[in-house]
Amino acid sequence: MEFEAQTLVSIAAYVGGGFCMGVGAVGAAIGEGYTAAEANLAISRNPKISGDIFKSMLVGQAIAESASIFALVIAILLLFLDVSVISLLKAAALLGAGISMGFGAVGSGVGSGLPGGQACKGISRQPAMKGRLMTNMLIGSAVCQTPAIFAMVVALILMFIDFGNAPLNPTWAALLGAGISMGLAAIGSGYGGGMAAGAGCEGVSRNPETIPSVTTAMLVGQAVSQTPSIFGLLVSFILMFKAFPETTLLSPAMALLGAGISMGFGGIGPGIGNGMAAEGAVKWIARNVEHQGELMRTMLIGQAVSQSTAIYAMVISLVLIFVV
């Protein structure tokens, strides 16, 4: 069965839009459910302040919803975008956009729910600290959204930049690889950042006197947890904006697609692992603030070792792009 370019562009846009919204809805729903579950637990512990807990739950859920809203925006654009340049390369770009934003919303949605749930639980323990807990939750959840924002940026570039002057082969694989690299790499960073933020809210509620130390450790831990998604963004930008010579061979295209797959999958584990290290450090700093220095040092060294696997994935991606 043969298809015209216009038909293939429409197919790519529709499939990309459906994938974007379908997969993009997963993370936010889980994050919101977790926040609601912890809110119920908090109310059962301290029913007298159920109103404050309920408000915190709604705010936390609203932030977790942001990732799926990003996915909704991209999906609507894909479905109703008036494509001025009709080509097979544009079809690959639109499908890559849907993949980037669909996967990219998962980790941020789940991760943003973790500080929301811990904030609700913390308010039940320390009602007087509800303002500070809300602040920590908002900051931590906002950082969790950065990988989803990276994914949205890549999706918008793929949708609106004209790649028409580039050769079809192997550029089509580079554009798909860009979406895969950014979308998958965002999963680990979004969830890992949420682990650190959740521990930060828990630490504030357990020992309010350690707020400065806990917040500092939380932000440092989250910053390191974001680096795999930054690696994914870097590889995506290279794949989108590097000029590749035209060829009739399939192997160069497979190398570029493999580069996106390598960095995408390679960024998931390190992002989560970095979040685990940060979660442990933040949690125990609240209990043993006098040992903050040792705990921070252990966290950073542990994160550096966990990060090495993302670096390996990036090295292979760069070899596939520039050497193979």
- The domain spans of the chain are 5-322
Structure token pair of residue 129: 């600290």
Query: CB-based contacts of 210: which residues, under 8 Å, 6+ apart?
Result: 203, 204, 285, 286, 289
Cβ atoms of 190 and 227 closer than 8 Å: no
Tell me: the pLDDT tens digits for 178-214? 999 999 999 999 999 999 999 999 999 999 999 999 9
Model's pTM, two decimal places? 0.94
The CATH architecture annotation of domain 5-322 reads Up-down Bundle (1.20)
* pLDDT by position in tens, the chain (length 324): 446 888 899 999 999 999 999 999 999 999 999 999 999 999 999 999 999 999 999 999 999 999 999 999 999 999 998 877 788 899 999 999 999 999 999 999 999 999 999 999 999 999 989 999 999 999 999 999 999 999 999 999 999 998 878 999 999 999 999 999 999 999 999 999 999 999 999 999 999 999 999 999 999 999 999 999 999 999 999 999 999 999 999 999 999 999 999 999 999 999 999 999 999 999 999 999 999 999 999 999 999 999 999 999 999 999 999 986
Instruction: Mark out the alpha helices in 46-162 (DSSP H runs).
Output: 50-80, 88-125, 130-144, 146-160
pLDDT at 1: 42
d(CA 209, CA 215): 11
pLDDT at 3: 65
Instruction: Say how far apart CA 212 and CA 83 lie, in whole Å.
Output: 50
Q: For tokens 């639109």, what's the residue?
A: 94
CA 146, 147, 153, 156 torsion: positive or negative? negative
pLDDT digits (tens, 9 = 90+) for 25-43: 999 999 999 999 999 999 9
Phi, then psi, of 169 in degrees rounded to 5 = -110, 120
